[in-house]
Amino acid sequence: MSKSNYDEKSIKVLKGLEPVKQRPGMYTRTDNPLHIVQEVIDNAADEALAGHATYIHVTVHTDGSVSVVDDGRGIPVGTHPDEGAPVVELVFTRLHAGGKFDKKGEAAYAFSGGLHGVGVSVTNALSNRLDVTVWRDGKEHTIRFADGFVVQDLTVSGSVAKRKTGTCVRIWPDPKYFDSQTIPVSDLIHSMRSKAVLLNGVKVRLSFEKTDKEYSWHYTDGLLGYLRDSLNGSEMEIPFFEGSHYADDTDENYALGEGVHWVVAWLDHGSVLRESYVNLISTPSGGTHEAGLRDGLFQSVKAFAELHSLIPKGVRLMAEDVFARVSFILSVKLLDPQFQGQIKERLNSREAVRMVSSFVRNDLDLWLNANVEYGKAIADLAIKHAQARTRSAQRVTKRKSSGVAVLPGKLTDCQSSDTDRTELFLVEGDSAGGSAKMGRDKEFQAILPLRGKVLNSWEVDKDRLFANTEIHDISVAIGVDPHSADDNVDLSGLRYGRICILSDADVDGSHIQVLLLTLFFRHFPRLVEAGHVYIARPPLFRLDVAAMGKRPARKIYCLDQSELDFYIERLKADGVQDKSLSISRFKGLGEMSAGQLWETTMNPDTRRLLPVSYGSLGVSATTDMFNLLMGRSEASARRSWLENKGNLADIDV
């Protein structure tokens, strides 16, 4: 067998838009071209959000192309002082070129959705052809691209009235990058309608050349009218709760203009409607802003119910009880939102939880106490849901109670027994276990501290596993006996829906992760197959950023060195100086306070929990890899593998 060479020639440097063309799924959805069209629409919406555009017109043409027209300021057409090329050309051909990184002073966009810096350049990379027309300074400018490259240089194609400004972008998506060339009409209509809702007073039109169909939206009552229309006139005993709150220049916690606008409806029957947006970007997967809304509503309703002695004895209200019958439209403005992935479906900004929660709670406290009867009706809905949840949990407890062994003494159990919610954290060391116990939510999170490194159980018979105290305690705590992949295992005794491995973010912590993963893969494979095993991901670094301009001081937690480098590079691009940055490294979980551990690693709204699965390798290949790495008789093969593959490891020594 010939060995492939790994030398200087093996390294390929992708330039320009080549990374997008080779791995389009890393940058956008590839099921259809809707997302690359939305990138252009979002740019037009950002112009409207900044107060410079009054209409957005999207046309789906008969040849499959889509054009987006706005009357904003028009993309700058002058030569960039550093790059020596027209700015409009750079915007469509450079992955990290745009007007949305600068947040200082009179920046072009204080608030915008396109913050990844790869938006319309990705659109260009994945299009056969892209034409741009800019009306600016009394002239009409045109430039044309094909396959991401300039094929017609920027030229002045005519004169226009000085009052006429704006941009027209027409794209022809390349079919080879998408599973289907058809743009889902209903999704496009929903996206355009939501833009009109969120941009009060802006006229939004959507035209289809093939059918001569045209839709037009122009909302004056914004979110409230949208939610009312979307609920199809459902009967409501409780009126809509609408409010908005934005930070002013005296706010010490949030940047000027950051804030939230919401409309909430409580219905006692029927399906709920929930939509959220960040700087006009739809977030269908929710995120930290929705978590903040849930927390604010819960805290306010709970306080109201306790004040008026409405909660029956033995009933404990939880956030899900208050939120169960809630429909809402939520629009948040953040100066520098952090999204999960390039398609921006989920907001990850931790500060959004606290901001939305505090703003919503303050307004709802006043609203409930001014409308006591409505407050009692809301509390009644929540109490009914809590009682139903309690009855369901009691049935589960009764079914599982027979034959359960005595739980380990060092297990700090949770109060709930509903496996849809409960979590067990297997924590490295007593010190970290102490922080986890103090930081957890005792309602649904249990803690089992482990002393030292767990036994390598790859070649240990399941009948002899219980000789090891740590493995015995894990098995008894989770309520499932060791088994093999061929066993017919009854998982009805499972006490926790999520089993989370929580270890330090260093090399020793990774070793403990491997030993525990070995245990679960070898002796509890059904738990892995059913998706019950997870890895908690604590940060290795904390990056403190001093206050600057509109932004107050902030803390950014980073999982590893690469993420730290990314944020430092991004902050420097925003003009943050080295002296404004301070880096702290956590030596271990025990060094983190309970609050830090909760915020970064255990809070379901802000943590990054990694599910464990077999992935693309499959069971057989995974077994072979575990045998190579963990088998005692494979020392020679393991050494050879390390010599050949060791250069690929990302090791923090």
Alpha helix segments (H runs only) across 215-331 = 222-230, 288-307, 319-323
Domain assignment present for 449 = yes
Helices (H) and strands (E) in the chain, counts: 18, 21
Q: What is the distance between the alpha carbons of residues 549 and 159, in angstroms, rounded to a whole number?
A: 40
Please answer whether residues 238 and 266 qualify as being in contact, where contact means their C-beta atoms are separated by less than 8 angstroms. yes
- Examine the domain organization and report whether 331 and 460 are in the same domain: no
Q: 201: closest CA among 49, 39, 46?
A: 49
Residue 298 amino acid letter: F
- Give the model's pLDDT for residue 477: 92
Q: Is the per-residue pLDDT at 558 higher than 80?
A: yes
Active site residue 506: yes
602 and 483 both lie in a single domain: yes
> Cα(39)–Cα(28) distance, rounded to whole angstroms?
10
Predicted pLDDT at 520: 92
Q: Among candidates 189, 138, 146, 193, which has minimal Cα distance to 170?
A: 146
Answer whether residue 581 is part of any domain: no
What HEC string does 36-63 produce?
HHHHHHHHHHHHHHCCCCCEEEEEECCC
Q: Are 618 and 606 within one domain?
A: no
Catalytic residue among 71, 504, 599, 605: 504
Task: Tell me which H or E stretch contains 150.
Answer: strand 149-159
Q: Could you tell me if 292 and 307 lie in one domain?
A: yes
How many whole angstroms separate alpha carbon 589 and alpha carbon 505? 8
CA distances from residue 6 to 197, 212, 447, 644, 645 in whole angstroms, order as listed:
55, 58, 45, 10, 10
CA distance 351 to 602: 16
Residues 618 and 607 in one domain: no
Domain membership of residue 278 (yes or no) is: yes
Q: How many residues does the chain have?
A: 653
Task: Please give the pLDDT value at position 104.
Answer: 47
Residue pair 117/40 in contact (Cβ under 8 Å)? The answer is no
Query: Does this model's pTM top 0.85?
Result: no
Is the separation of the CB atoms in 319 and 416 below 8 Å?
A: no
- Specify whether the CB–CB gap between 205 and 70 falls below 8 A: no
Residue 68: inside a domain: yes
**375-411 pLDDT, tens digit each:** 999 999 999 998 888 777 655 443 444 444 578 888 9
Mean pLDDT across the stretch 233-262? 85
CA end-to-end span of the chain, whole Å?
Answer: 34
Question: Residue 106's pLDDT is what?
Answer: 43
Is residue 441 located within the same domain as residue 521?
Answer: yes
Structural domain for 422, as ranges: 404-538+586-613
CATH number at residue 477: 3.40.50.670
The string over 345-355, giving b where at least 16 C-beta atoms fall within 10 Å of a residue's C-beta and e elsewhere, is bbbebbbbbbb
Please give the pLDDT value at position 430. Answer: 73
Indicate if 238 and 169 belong to the same structural domain.
no
Asked if 637 contacts 567 with a C-beta cutoff of 8 angstroms, the reply is: no
Element of type H or E holding 508: helix 507-523
Query: Known catalytic residue: 249?
Result: no
Rounded to the nearest angstrom, the gap between the alpha carbon of residue 567 and the centroid of all alpha carbons in its chain is 17
d(CA 17, CA 24): 10
Those residues whose C-beta lies under 8 Å from the C-beta of residue 84, and which sit 6 or more positions away, are none
DSSP class per residue in 413-477: --S---TTT-EEEEEESHHHHHHHHHHS-TTTEEEEEE-SPPP--TTS-GGGGGGSHHHHHHHHH
Same domain? For 185 and 236 the reply is no
- Strand ranges (DSSP E) for 559-637? 581-585, 610-611
**Using one digit for the tens of pLDDT, what is the confidence trace for 628-637?**
778 777 777 7
Assess whether 363 carries a catalytic annotation. Answer: no
pLDDT confidence band for 235 (50 / 70 / 90): low
φ/ψ (deg, to 5) at 57? -125, 120
CA distances 433 to 19, 442, 568, Å, are 43, 13, 31
Cβ pair 411, 472 in contact under 8 A: no
Instruction: Compute the distance between CA of residue 516 and CA of residue 191 in angstroms, rounded to an integer.
Output: 45
103-139 confidence digits (pLDDT tens): 444 444 445 444 333 578 889 999 999 999 999 999 9
Residue 650 is predicted with a pLDDT of 55
Of the three residues 162, 192, 217, the one that is the final residue of a domain is 217
For the residues 522-541, what does the mean pLDDT come to? 92
Domain membership flag for residue 375? yes
- Tell me, yes or no, whether 202 and 248 share the same domain: no
Domain end residue (candidates: 333, 367, 393): 393
Strands (E), 462-520: 498-502
**DSSP conformational letter for 602:** I
- Which of 78, 132, 107 shows the shortest CA–CA distance to 99? 107
Do residues 133 and 167 touch, judged by C-beta distance below 8 A? yes
Asked whether residue 99 falls in the same domain as residue 39, the answer is: yes
**Options 131, 351, 428, 470, the catalytic residue:** 428
Does 588 score more than 60 pLDDT? yes
Catalytic residue among 506, 560, 591, 634: 506
Residue 550 lies in a domain: no
The model's pLDDT over 71-106, given as tens digits with 9 standing for 90+, comes to 999 999 998 887 888 999 988 988 755 444 444 444
Whether residue 414 sits in one domain with residue 369 = no
Domain count of the fold of the chain = 4
3-class SS at 68? Answer: strand
Whether 221 is catalytic: no
User: Residue 646: what pLDDT?
Assistant: 64
Sign of CA dihedral 586, 589, 590, 595: positive
Domain-located, residue 559: no
Q: Where on the phi/psi map is residue 218: left (φ > 0), alpha (ψ -120 to 50), or beta? A: beta
Last residue of a domain, one of 217, 239, 270: 217
Question: Alpha-carbon distance 270 to 326, whole Å?
Answer: 11
Question: Whole-angstrom Cα distance, residue 144 to residue 132?
Answer: 6
Q: Average pLDDT, whole number, for the chain? A: 84
Given a contact cutoff of 8 angstroms between Cβ atoms, the answer to whether 589 and 432 are in contact is yes
Catalytic residue among 179, 430, 487, 508: 508
45 shares its domain with 192: yes
Determine, yes or no, domain membership for 333.
yes
Cβ contact 589:429 at 8 Å: yes
Other Cβ atoms less than 10 A from the Cβ of 68: the count is 23
CATH number of the domain bearing residue 306: 3.30.230.10
Q: How confident is the model at residue 649 (pLDDT cuts 50, 70, 90)?
A: low
